[in-house]
Amino acid sequence: MRKPLLPLETALAQLLASLEGTRLEAAWVSTMQADGRVLAQAVSSELQVPPQDNSSMDGYAVRLADVGACNGILPVSQRIPAGTNPKELLAGTAARIFTGAPIPFGADAVVMQEDCVELPAANPQDTELRIQVNQLPSIGQWIRRSGEDVTKGEIVLAAGQRLGPAELGMAASIGLAKLSVVRKPRVALFSTGDELVMPGDVEPQAMPAGAIYNSNRFFLNSLLRRLGCDVTDFGIIPDQREATIAALRLASESNDLVLTSGGVSVGEEDHVKPAVQSLGSLDLWQIAIKPGKPFAHGRIGACHFIGLPGNPVSSFVTFLVLVRPFLQRLQGVNQSALPVTLMRADFDWLRPDKRQEFLRVRRNAKGGLDLFPNQSSGVLSSVVWGDGLVDNPAGQSIRLGDQVGFVAFNDLLG
């Protein structure tokens, strides 16, 4: 009897468990260069943000009691642009103030300039500027308090956080010019298949019979880089046992992961699986998902091996549901579950597979999901057209209007 295929959940758990005890070293990088990297340690702030109380408006800083006491007419005793250090506010006066400038000691509110008028001088030799405040301010009005964003000692970014635009801005706002990040995983990428031709090597009109362009190499490179990997692309391995063994052995010596596509199925031209078995161990093979059954994981020495199916959509999907969480975990990112949301299916899927399926779908303007008509595992158009996957449990049919689990490509590509 054939061995039952591994459920995705089990395979993922095994894959992640294989990383237990593995930690990539930390390295310092300049904050400016840290986009997409993963923080190796939590970051806490050595100062308050903002550092001082400051104005959130262009206007006048006042003492509330003074405004009431003099019918709102106040002389202007100082001018405080952003970046200056003000004097204490003289009693019975206002200070001209600009957005971001520190609040002078003694002031307890800011009146925006739209709510004040500059008064004409009472007599021509008067140089003193006076304003009429037309609104009785409330206490603290238009004042941004010191520490309202970050308090001193607060942890602002957690270990394992992937740094994007918001996180880099935060790190800079607390004065960090360098960040301790996890070393990039080193990944060796191989394509297998004697039918493969590189774009540029042969013009489309000159393609020999039986040849196809190597598309997996391009999207796998892109997916790996978006996940912060240092990719060495070894190109195409011929469908030969010895060549496959030699290539895998070499790559395993200097990488954390060897990632291949193709050649892990059951045909006698599929040399990757036996090659890994001869060099190390194969711990996991064949998963109950569609597309993507021929997925393999093993070890060659200290290096992990992952073999993806050759069919482009299978390769794409298995990368997203298995390799991505593996690489996230390797980098210390705590995010292994697929980000699934419930959405309405605006289609029927009445002949489900026995395996868990990942259907290529697209969100429509009515708030539902449309299905790409051709769900074949070789049809990359489905991934280009689609903006995500329906995660459909094994054997479950879908009727128009049903709620289904949706995973957006956008949530998986960075």
Binding region for Mg ion (CB under 5 A): 193, 262-263, 310
What b-and-e string marks burial along 393-414, b requiring 16 or more CB atoms within 10 Å of the CB? ebeeebeeebebebbbeeebee
In the list Mg ion, ligand AMP, none, the entry touching 191 (Cβ below 5 to 8 angstroms by class) is ligand AMP
Nearer to ligand AMP, 312 or 386 (CB): 312
In the list ligand AMP, Mg ion, none, the entry touching 50 (Cβ below 5 to 8 angstroms by class) is none
Question: Rounded to the nearest whole angstrom, what is the least distance from the CB of residue 412 to ligand AMP in the complex?
Answer: 20
Nearer to Mg ion, 192 or 331 (CB): 192
Of 67, 65, 89, nearest in space to 77 by CA:
89
Nearer to ligand AMP, 110 or 237 (CB): 237
Nearer to ligand AMP, 193 or 388 (CB): 193
In the list ligand AMP, Mg ion, none, the entry touching 292 (Cβ below 5 to 8 angstroms by class) is none
Nearer to ligand AMP, 140 or 378 (CB): 378
Angstrom CA distances, 297 to 3, 19, 141, 280, stand at 17, 12, 61, 11
Question: Rounded to the nearest whole angstrom, what is the least distance from the CB of residue 239 to Mg ion in the complex?
Answer: 6
In the list ligand AMP, Mg ion, none, the entry touching 265 (Cβ below 5 to 8 angstroms by class) is ligand AMP
- Whether 306 and 264 have beta carbons less than 8 Å apart is answered as no
Question: Rounded to the nearest whole angstrom, what is the least distance from the CB of residue 361 to ligand AMP in the complex?
Answer: 23
In the list ligand AMP, Mg ion, none, the entry touching 286 (Cβ below 5 to 8 angstroms by class) is none
Question: Rounded to the nearest whole angstrom, what is the least distance from the CB of residue 213 to ligand AMP in the complex?
Answer: 7
Question: Rounded to the nearest whole angstrom, what is the least distance from the CB of residue 265 to Mg ion in the complex?
Answer: 7
List residues near ligand AMP by CB under 6 A.
Answer: 191-193, 195-196, 212, 214-217, 261-263, 265, 309-312
Question: Rounded to the nearest whole angstrom, what is the least distance from the CB of residue 197 to ligand AMP in the complex?
Answer: 10
Nearer to ligand AMP, 20 or 268 (CB): 268
Question: Rounded to the nearest whole angstrom, what is the least distance from the CB of residue 272 to ligand AMP in the complex?
Answer: 8
Question: Rounded to the nearest whole angstrom, what is the least distance from the CB of residue 382 to ligand AMP in the complex?
Answer: 14
In the list ligand AMP, Mg ion, none, the entry touching 217 (Cβ below 5 to 8 angstroms by class) is ligand AMP
Nearer to Mg ion, 236 or 343 (CB): 236
In the list ligand AMP, Mg ion, none, the entry touching 377 (Cβ below 5 to 8 angstroms by class) is none
Q: Report the distance separating Cα 244 and Cα 247, nearest Å.
A: 5
Q: Which residue is nearest to ligand AMP (CB)?
A: 310
In the list Mg ion, ligand AMP, none, the entry touching 41 (Cβ below 5 to 8 angstroms by class) is none
CB atoms within 10 A of CB 168: 20
In the list ligand AMP, Mg ion, none, the entry touching 386 (Cβ below 5 to 8 angstroms by class) is none
Nearer to Mg ion, 198 or 413 (CB): 198
Question: Rounded to the nearest whole angstrom, what is the least distance from the CB of residue 216 to ligand AMP in the complex?
Answer: 3
Nearer to ligand AMP, 47 or 211 (CB): 211
